[in-house]
Amino acid sequence: MSKLDGWELVIGLEVHCELRTATKLFCGCPNMFGDEPNTNVCPVCLGLPGSLPVINRQAVEFAMRIGAALNCSIEPSTFHRKNYFYPDMPKDYQVSQYDEPINVGGYLELPDGFRVGIERAHMEEDTGKTMHAGGDGRIHGSSHSLVDYNRSGVPLVEIVSAPDMRSSAQARAYVAELRAILVAIGASDGRMEEGSLRADANVSVRRPGEPLGTRCEIKNVNSLRSLGRSIEYEAARQVDLITAGEKVQQQTRHWDDANGRTITGRTKEEAEDYRYFLEPDLVPLAPDAAWITTVRGSLPALPAERRGRVAAAAGAEPASQAVVTVVDLELDDLVCAAVAAGADGRIALARASNEVAANVDAGRRLDAGAFASLVKLEAGGGLTATQAKTVLGELLETGGGDPAAIAAARGFEAMDSNALDATIDEIIAAHSDEWARYREGDPKMAGFFVGLVMKATQGKADGKAVNAALQDRLKPA
Amino acid sequence: MSKLTRADVAHVARLARLELSDDELDMFTGQLADVLDHAADVEALEIDDVPPTAHPLPLVNVLRDDIVQPSLDRDEVLRAAPKAENGRFVVPRILGEAP
Amino acid sequence: MSLAANTALAIAAAVRSGATTARQVIEDHLAVVATRESELHACNLVMTDQALAAADAVDAAVARGEDPGPLAGVPVALKDNMCTRGVPTTCSSKILEGWTPPYDATVVERLRAAGAVAIAKTNLDEFAMGSSTENSAFGPTRNPHDPSRVPGGSSGGSAAAVAAGYAPLALGSDTGGSIRQPAALCGVVGMKPTYGAVSRYGLIAFASSLDQIGPFSNTVADAAALYEVIGGHDPRDTTSIDQPVAAVSAELGRGVEGLRVGVVQELSGEGIADDVAARVREATDALTAAGAKVGEVSVPACTFGLSAYYLIAPAEASSNLARYDGVRYGLRVDGEDITQMYTRTRTAGFGAEVKRRIMLGTYALSAGYYDAYYGKALKVRTLITRDFDAAYEQFDVLVSPTAPTTAFAFGAKTENPLAMYLSDVCTIPSNLAGHPAISVPFGTGDDGLPVGVQVLAPALGEAVMFRVAAALEAAAPGKAS
């Protein structure tokens, strides 16, 4: 019985995506993670007196691509200043988009077909990074902080979903799918662990049918796992409060991963007044119809479409783990090429989502023709599954080659069934006690016999075939 | 008369990170109220259907190419810093997370 | 022969031809600075070493037979809110005292490329907020015509530097009249370009949608020459007009035959001193005599200009000045936590007028008040632009006083901020509309102090504006003492 039974979770997500441009949003400093602090800065991104912003065309292109991929309307837009004081903000205002964002009104479809509404996806600049010193690294208890402005001015698109999600699993699926889309269109490198994709969750609870409850925003979530855990924790926390007769206060809470809880931020006497006004140092964006059409037309196949394609080729479900895995790892083309060459789709998908997936970098370099040949060998019985996996391992290492030649070099060939039967009979005869226990259903005995058969045949037998043969001998003669 | 109160001035001073003595608070309240009174002629205009001009220029789509330009030398940057340590700017302890 | 009293064009011609050296020119001007500066305090910094080095570089170019530029060897004073690499830039504020920019403003780069020599950083009202230079954190500047009077502001130092002969040229910035009004009070030419005609990159911002850099000079021809050097598109300034600068020097001698000149009613009546009004009438009479058609025109929304300006400018300023927080540069006053550090730094670093405007601007933008104040002011801006556009259908240029009075005494308007704000009533409308305007000296007031007459033109109308200014200059009575 979950504490949340009888309660409905309402979840909206705000995902910040750092764009994969060469330079920052308003200046020509490199957009680069991991460089020495304060080496990628200039008058503009340091907020020096007299500096002025000029918008990066590529950032606009990526923002439009994101809007197109999320089925948004791409609109003329303006930039506003969001005014507040914080040391990671060199101008003590952030340039963002307020009431006229570049993308509005779209949706994202989860692999299972559930649609999450996208309210807007707007452009803004990233802040610098602060490190807290003198304590345990957190703000509370620190004696001073250190600021690096390399990240200040990096272009972001903030994607705001409608509060359509109803479970932490859906929230995770949303972020996973969004990430896959952003990577597919080239807008992001998807590295959540480096902070290039950051998710804040707005969570509230209510009894079904009742109006929306007060929501809290959870920040500082750095992985899909933390996203799930933090949402579960926060929902339970709110249920506890309401059940105890207390009110949920609207606030921003931070996810403390080490201790598995959300903690309240600084309590403020008054809500922040950002005093938004139109950024006078910039002029509006109004992409013309031709540019918009070009952007929409230049999108590559998105993950949903690719999953559908490889699922159809392999005879699998689009939402199945194997399909999701191969598309996620960009191995779907390999599978589709194998099928197109006449190989068995089910086996191609299985090998791709397991063995090739385990060695993705090599898998992306793997020669499609070699892969197709290998699948055909296995499908046609020329190789056992075990043998095929071994050959595949070698193919991955070398990036190609002739599977048949590799198999021959290793002395692989499928065992013909008569020889196999004979071998099995010999072994059974030599181990009558163990056979008796096998007949009685001792589960360990199957492995015992399969092991002996494999040893006797020097691995040439196919494990499944051996099991089947043993089972056959259980039937009355 | 403008409705600007002493509390309003104290509030905006806080928003702007300025500290005023009581005397200053009184003085500024009087002076700001005078300016806002003078601006009452604007406040009284009924011009809902007039569009605002945020910008005197009708420019749109001013963009630059995504090409790396030289950054500043870090030593020069940090020399101007009131306090720096190990390549970073040092600030006194921050009390809360960013809004 | 000292060239200190000569025009920029004459100096440049002499240097280019080899009749004199840039070094001689600069030394002569530095000598003038030395004689008057302790009295006038027009400068925050005299760039002696840099100026002499730059002069030597010009001379070396001439010796190599290279083109040293159209303003070769001409000394130029720079208002101390323009970034000069390696040279302190303070905005006459304690919060930037000692700050040295790591980069040059675009206008500074263009001056250097033209062979001009930056000779000083001049005093201003702190962060360009004021009309008398009394708001400088480093002490006021005195009017060279009468040291008991203000030079005007906020570019008082630059205006005084030209009037006193430190340099034939200076740059100032104009947000609500900060070039034109001190030009009028000091008896020199001062011009504000069309918004976007001159790059703001490197100009320390006061009000971003109003600020423009412009020239001070003794002659209209010199102002035109300086404008041609600094103006034109800059890719580093998004708000810069995507055109090369207009070739206005060629227009100067065309005369005003047939041009239609409108005297702005709303800027001519109440509040303008009688002697100033008389000079403006004489100026328009002179234009009539020169063949122009002078009439009266109403630009009704001008009466709301002051109010709209004192909502828009402080609002933008409150945001532009947020960055002065003690973190990355400038003054820091320590605190136990960052908020206390911010507050102590800004409280100690900003003067009263700057604080006033920051608070006013914060209020105008704050939740609940945006629509009534800032939002409304932006609509007034539309009305002013529309009324000007209508006026320019009937007239080619407009004329008004530049300032309501001649130079006032120190302390005369500091008791009541509003009294000071009223100094800008004639100049503010052009900033709101983004139109160019120029102040030309035209006689003196009853007190013998200079009077300036303002010529206004539509956006990108610098050519016709300079034409009329040249005609006024030619007809002006003997210069002020």
pLDDT at C479: 47
Q: Chain A closest CA to C367's CA: distance in Å?
A: 6
Q: Which residues contact A344 (CB under 8 A, 6 or more apart)?
A: A375, A376, A378, A379
- The torsion angles phi and psi of A116, rounded to 5 degrees, stand at -105, 130
R_g (Cα) of chain A, nearest Å = 29
Q: Which of B53, B57, B91 sits opposite C341 (nearest CB)?
A: B91
Q: Which two tokens stand for residue A402?
A: 């002739």
**Within-domain flag for B68:** no
- pLDDT digit string (tens) for chain C, length 481 residues: 444 569 999 999 999 999 999 999 999 999 999 999 999 999 999 999 999 999 999 999 999 999 999 999 999 999 999 999 999 999 999 999 989 999 999 999 999 999 999 999 999 999 999 999 999 999 999 999 999 999 999 999 999 999 999 999 999 999 999 999 999 999 999 999 999 999 999 999 999 999 999 999 999 999 999 999 999 999 999 999 998 999 999 999 999 999 999 999 999 888 999 999 999 999 999 999 999 999 999 999 999 999 999 999 999 999 999 999 999 999 999 999 999 999 999 999 999 999 999 999 999 999 888 888 899 999 999 999 999 999 999 999 999 999 999 999 999 999 888 889 998 999 999 999 999 999 999 999 999 999 999 999 999 999 999 999 999 999 999 744 3
Inform me whether the C-beta atom of residue B86 falls under 8 Å from chain A C-beta atoms.
Answer: yes
Closest residue of chain B to C100, computed from CA coordinates: B80
Neighbours of B41 (CB within 10 A): 14
**Amino acid, res. C418:** L
Which CATH code for domain C8-249? Answer: 3.90.1300.10
Q: Would you say C437 and C302 are in contact if contact means Cβ atoms under 8 Å apart?
A: no
DSSP A163: S
Rounded mean pLDDT of chain B?
A: 92
- Specify whether C158 is catalytic: no
Q: Would you say A285 and A250 are in contact if contact means Cβ atoms under 8 Å apart?
A: no
Which among B4, B26, B37, B57 is the top mutation candidate for probing chain C, defined by the most C β-carbons within 10 Å of its own β-carbon?
B57
Domains in chain A and their CATH numbers?
A: 8-295 (no CATH), 303-409 (no CATH), 417-472 (1.10.10)
Inform me whether the C-beta atom of residue C382 falls under 8 Å from chain B C-beta atoms.
Answer: yes
Q: Would you say C411 and C274 are in contact if contact means Cβ atoms under 8 Å apart?
A: no
Q: Would you say A67 and A108 are in contact if contact means Cβ atoms under 8 Å apart?
A: no
Q: Can you say how many angstroms the Cα of residue A364 is from the centroid of all Cα atoms in its chain? A: 18
Closest residue of chain A to B74, computed from CA coordinates: A39
Q: Which two tokens stand for residue B96?
A: 């809360």
Which residue bears the tokens 């859906």?
A: A170
Q: Chain B closest CA to C373's CA: distance in Å?
A: 6
Neighbours of C67 (CB within 10 A): 10
Which residue bears the tokens 């707007």?
A: A122
Q: Per-residue pLDDT tens for A2-19?
A: 778 899 999 999 999 999
**Amino acid, res. A340:** A
Q: Would you say C157 and C422 are in contact if contact means Cβ atoms under 8 Å apart?
A: no
- Specify whether C154 is catalytic: yes
Q: Which residues contact C367 (CB under 8 A, 6 or more apart)?
A: A273, A275
Calculate the alpha carbon distances from C361 to A72, A395, A451, B40, C319 in Å. 36, 69, 83, 15, 8
> Would you list the domain boundaries of chain C?
8-249
Let me know if B10 is exposed, middle or buried by CB neighbors in 10 A (0-12, 13-18, 19+). Answer: middle
Q: Would you say C452 and C416 are in contact if contact means Cβ atoms under 8 Å apart?
A: no
Closest residue of chain B to C371, computed from CA coordinates: B43
CATH assignment of the domain containing B38: 1.10.20
Q: Which residues contact A455 (CB under 8 A, 6 or more apart)?
A: none
**Amino acid, res. A229:** R
Neighbours of C470 (CB within 10 A): 24
- Strands across the sheet containing A93-96: A93-96, A80-83, A277-278
Looking at chain B, the whole-number percentage of residues with pLDDT higher than 90 is 77
SS3 A10: strand
Q: Which of A50, A90, A93 sits opposite C204 (nearest CB)?
A: A50
How many angstroms separate the CA atoms of B20 and C56, rounded?
51
Q: Which two tokens stand for residue C142?
A: 């005195």
**Within-domain flag for B34:** yes
Let me know if C45 is exposed, middle or buried by CB neighbors in 10 A (0-12, 13-18, 19+). Answer: middle
Pairing of strands B84-85, B88-92: antiparallel
Q: Per-residue pLDDT tens for A69-120?
A: 999 999 999 999 999 999 999 999 999 999 999 999 999 999 888 999 999 9
- Specify whether C307 is catalytic: no
How many angstroms separate the CA atoms of A10 and A390, rounded?
48
Q: Which residues contact A440 (CB under 8 A, 6 or more apart)?
A: none
DSSP C251: G
Range of the structural domain that residue B36 is part of: 6-43
Q: Which two tokens stand for residue A457?
A: 């045949």
Inform me whether the C-beta atom of residue A79 falls under 8 Å from chain C C-beta atoms.
Answer: no
Q: Per-residue pLDDT tens for A306-343?
A: 999 999 999 999 889 999 899 988 899 999 999 998 88
User: Which chain B residues are closer than 8 Å to A42 by Cβ?
Assistant: 69-72
How many angstroms separate the CA atoms of A163 and A172, rounded?
14
How many angstroms separate the CA atoms of A414 and A364, rounded?
29
**Residue tagged active-site, from C178, C249, C318, C423:** C178
Whether residues C376 and B12 touch (CB distance < 8 A) is answered with: no
Whether residues B97 and A266 touch (CB distance < 8 A) is answered with: yes
Inform me whether the C-beta atom of residue C89 falls under 8 Å from chain A C-beta atoms.
Answer: yes
Neighbours of A107 (CB within 10 A): 14
Q: Which residues contact A225 (CB under 8 A, 6 or more apart)?
A: none
**Within-domain flag for B26:** yes
pTM of the model: 0.90
| H/E element, B89 | strand B88-92
- Upstream peptide bond of C154 is cis (omega within 30 degrees of 0): yes
Residues forming a β-bridge with C14: none
**Within-domain flag for B39:** yes
Q: Which two tokens stand for residue B34?
A: 């005078």
User: ∠A37-A40-A43 over CA atoms, to 5°?
Assistant: 115
DSSP C477: P
How many angstroms separate the CA atoms of C407 and C184, rounded?
8
As for how many domains chain B has, the answer is 1
**Amino acid, res. A108:** L
Which among B18, B73, B94 is the top mutation candidate for probing chain A, defined by the most A β-carbons within 10 Å of its own β-carbon?
B94
- The torsion angles phi and psi of A113, rounded to 5 degrees, stand at 100, -10
The string of DSSP letters for A66-112 reads HHHHTTPEE--B--EEEE---TT-TTSEEEE--SS-SEEEEEEE-TT
Can you list the positions of beta strands (E) in A126-278?
Answer: 129-133, 144-148, 155-161, 197-206, 216-221, 252-256, 261-264, 277-278
pLDDT at A378: 87
